[in-house]
Amino acid sequence: SPRRVAIVGATGAVGREMVDVLHRRSFPVAELGLFASERSAGRTVETPFGEKTLVAFDVEKVKGYDIVLLAVSGDFAKAHAPAIAAGGALVIDNSSAFRYDDNVPLIVPEINAHAMGDAKLIANPNCTTAIAVVALGPLHKAFGLKRVIVSTYQATSGAGAEGMAELEEQTRNQLDGKPVTNSVFRHPIPFNLIPQIDAFQENGYTKEEMKVTWETRKILEIPDLPVSCTAVRIPTYRAHSEAITVETLTPVTPDAARAALADAPGVVVKDVPADGVYPMPLNATGQFDVEVGRIRTSLIFGDHGLDLFVCGDQLLKGAALNAVQIAELSL
């Protein structure tokens, strides 16, 4: 039966995308509630479900929905998600607030739908991790993963609509010879790249990099998998790219890897290098599937290793699509 769906944080880059994805996937929506801050409340927005009026967030109002998609900060989610879930709604939280809680499933439906159980609060993974695991999961199933090294090229959308706006405005300033300033990012992003996403941890890795380690282990259910990541912000809009090296437990060839990935849901193999066919952020933008290509035998790990390149839409598989897919598991 159709569900009453609320989106909290509906004006953000992820929240807006959630509305579109519900429509693109023909999710059975009985009623759509769009919740935002006091500042946006009362404003009307055009959606594929018709014109909607933004409502100021109110925990009691939100409790009345069947499914609540949270596209809000971790602190906000921490403060309100448990109460909403206790009220009976299925809460899918896009923040990192509950991802490392043993009692909260962290779900990428193609990989670990079984882990959802009958939980009422589900965590949606970090975007970089979600995109990586749709490729890593099938490789793990076929060949077993022993070690993983990830280097990321992350779009400005990871910092929300403001991140994309800063890229656009500051690129224009740069080209017009005007001063280039930065507020969302720590340094100017046009014609640059920034090897810092989120705060540095004691071990010298950033929080974003550690999220890739922690969340990949939890989703793939390999608690001690060595995963090392270098996360870099680049001046693109909304698809994250990742160079991934895997060492496998059993021998692997690029052809066998392509076959395993071609059969896997959520992945499209784009791997005809001679024709210039490989994953790229511009191609992955707006697509549900994660592109995988440049699959080759690792010069380091030989027949027990691969290098590959992956691109996925950060706002879709990295956020809104994955959240809606989790909601679909409850239908």
Contact between 127 and ligand 11C by CB under 6 A: the answer reads yes
Q: In the complex, what is the shortest distance from the CB of residue 101 to ligand 11C, in angstroms, rounded to a whole number?
A: 14
**Residue 208 sits in the site that holds ligand 11C (CB under 6 A):** yes
Kindly state the helix (H) or strand (E) to which residue 328 belongs, with its residue range.
helix 321-329
Residue numbers 145-174 binding ligand 11C by CB under 6 A:
154, 158-159
C-alpha span between 213 and 211 (Å, rounded): 5
Question: Could you tell me how many residues of this chain bind ligand 11C (CB under 6 A)?
Answer: 10
Rounded Cα gap, residues 82 and 87, in angstroms: 9
Determine, following the binding rule CB under 6 A, whether residue 197 of this chain makes contact with ligand 11C.
yes
Nearer to ligand 11C by Cβ, of 260 and 284: the residue is: 284
Q: Which is nearer to ligand 11C, 3 or 16 (CB)?
A: 16
**In whole angstroms, how close is the CB of 75 to ligand 11C at the nearest point?**
13
Nearer to ligand 11C, 160 or 293 (CB): 160
Q: How far is CA 156 from CA 37, 43, 233, 241, in A?
A: 23, 26, 7, 12
Cα dihedral value 50, 52, 58, 60, nearest 10: -40
Smaller CB separation from ligand 11C, 242 or 291: 242
> Is 128 among the residues that bind ligand 11C (CB under 6 A)?
yes
What is the closest distance, in whole angstroms, from the C-beta atom of residue 99 to ligand 11C in the complex? 8
* Number of residue whose CB is nearest ligand 11C: 158
From the CB of 219, what's the least distance to ligand 11C, in Å?
A: 13
Length of the chain: 331
**Which residues are catalytic, by number?**
127, 240
Per CB under 6 A, contacts with ligand 11C among 43-82 are none
- Report strand pairing: 90-93 vs 67-70: parallel
Burial class (CB in 10 A: 0-12, 13-18, 19+), 180: buried
Min. distance of Cβ 26 from ligand 11C in angstroms? Answer: 26
Dihedral Cα 166, 168, 169, 170, nearest 10 deg: 70
Which lies closer to ligand 11C via its Cβ, residue 66 or residue 208? Answer: 208
CB of 208 to ligand 11C, least distance (A): 6
Q: Does 211 bind ligand 11C (CB under 6 A)?
A: yes
One character per residue 81-110, x = contact with ligand 11C (rule: CB under 6 A):
---------------x--------------
Residues 13-32 that bind ligand 11C (CB under 6 A): none
Closer Cβ to ligand 11C, 89 or 320, answer by number: 320
Sequence-distant (6+) residues with CB within 8 A of 53 are: 34, 42, 43, 44
Instruction: State which residue, 66 or 242, has the beta carbon closest to ligand 11C.
Output: 242
Tell the smallest beta-carbon distance from residue 28 to ligand 11C (Å): 27
Q: Which residues have C-beta within 8 Å of that of residue 204, sequence separation ≥ 6?
A: none
Please report which helix (H) or strand (E) contains residue 327, including its range: helix 321-329
Phi, psi of 311 (to 5 degrees): -130, 135
Residues 32 and 54 sit within 8 Å (Cβ to Cβ)? no
Q: Is residue 182 a contact partner of residue 170, using CB atoms and an 8 Å limit?
A: yes
The yes or no reply on residue 9 touching ligand 11C (CB under 6 A) is: no
Q: Cα separation of 181 and 84, whole Å?
A: 40
Q: Nearest 5°: CA angle at 121, between 62 and 159?
A: 80
Q: Would you tell me which residues interact with ligand 11C (CB under 6 A)?
A: 96, 126-128, 154, 158-159, 197, 208, 211
